Amino acid sequence: MESLREKNLRVMYEFLERIQKRVSFAIYTNTPVVRHSRQTSPGPSLSTISYPHQFPVEAQAKRDCSLDQFVMASSIDAAGEPIPTSAVLMSASKHIATRCRGENVAFLKCKKDDPNPEICLEKGRQVTRCVLSLLKDLHQKCTKEMDAYAGCMYYNTDEFELCRKQQKDFEKACPLS
């Protein structure tokens, strides 16, 4: 038989799972999450509608002000090498696909042919070297545009559609080779 504590924990976890599914669905479909507040007076229901990824205007202003400092400070390490964060990698994905195609194909072929991961370590290192050298080249050629595009991707959680202007500027400054 289930104790009262175990029952309460189970009910709480089920409730949290339902909320998580609802919010995840709202984020995925970009539908509003409706929050109902308790009403003490008669009249129409007081509901607030918000989109899951929206922030108050004050929070957006603070985030916008600190975004440039964050991207500039975090996209380069002490040795002057670009740090491959997800936003930087997503920003350079077309360039990576073009320039590092041979290394990627060789690595994927190795992984497919042999299930032992140790066999493909050198091929993986070649892919990493190619990507890092590409990022270094891109950073030297078009620092401003790359930082703007990576900053936009970071701010918009890697959503290409929300960063088309920065993408266009970046691809104009650093065309695909």
- What would the mean pLDDT of 116-122 be, rounded to a whole number? 90
Within this chain, do residues 27 and 76 fall inside the same structural domain, yes or no?
no
Lowest mean pLDDT among 25-39, 96-110, 126-140: 25-39
For residue 127, give the nearest of 110, 113, 143, 115 by alpha carbon: 110
Within this chain, do residues 69 and 42 fall inside the same structural domain, yes or no?
no
pTM: 0.56
39, 46 Cβ separation under 8 angstroms: yes
Within this chain, do residues 84 and 166 fall inside the same structural domain, yes or no?
yes
* DSSP H helical ranges for the chain: 4-29, 57-74, 86-91, 93-99, 101-113, 121-141, 143-155, 164-173
Within this chain, do residues 74 and 27 fall inside the same structural domain, yes or no?
no
Within this chain, do residues 82 and 150 fall inside the same structural domain, yes or no?
yes
Instruction: Tell me the residue range of the domain where 168 lies.
Output: 57-173
Within this chain, do residues 77 and 43 fall inside the same structural domain, yes or no?
no
Residues 6+ apart with CB under 8 A from 104: 97, 127
Within this chain, do residues 42 and 102 fall inside the same structural domain, yes or no?
no
Residue identified by tokens 């990627």 is 104
Question: Over 70: is that where the pLDDT of 113 sits?
Answer: yes
pLDDT at 84 (0 to 100): 84
Within this chain, do residues 64 and 46 fall inside the same structural domain, yes or no?
no
Residues 6+ apart with CB under 8 A from 154: 67, 70, 71, 85, 87
| Cα dist from 116 to 16, 108, 109, 110, 121, whole Å | 40, 13, 13, 9, 10
Total domain count for the chain? 2
Which two three-digit tokens encode residue 12?
A: 């709480």
Within this chain, do residues 161 and 142 fall inside the same structural domain, yes or no?
yes
Within this chain, do residues 164 and 102 fall inside the same structural domain, yes or no?
yes
pLDDT at 15 (0 to 100): 74
Spatial separation of the C-alpha atoms in residues 59 and 84, rounded to whole Å: 27
27, 48 Cβ separation under 8 angstroms: no
Within this chain, do residues 73 and 46 fall inside the same structural domain, yes or no?
no
Which two three-digit tokens encode residue 5?
A: 């504590």
Within this chain, do residues 90 and 148 fall inside the same structural domain, yes or no?
yes
pLDDT over 90 for what percent of the chain?
37
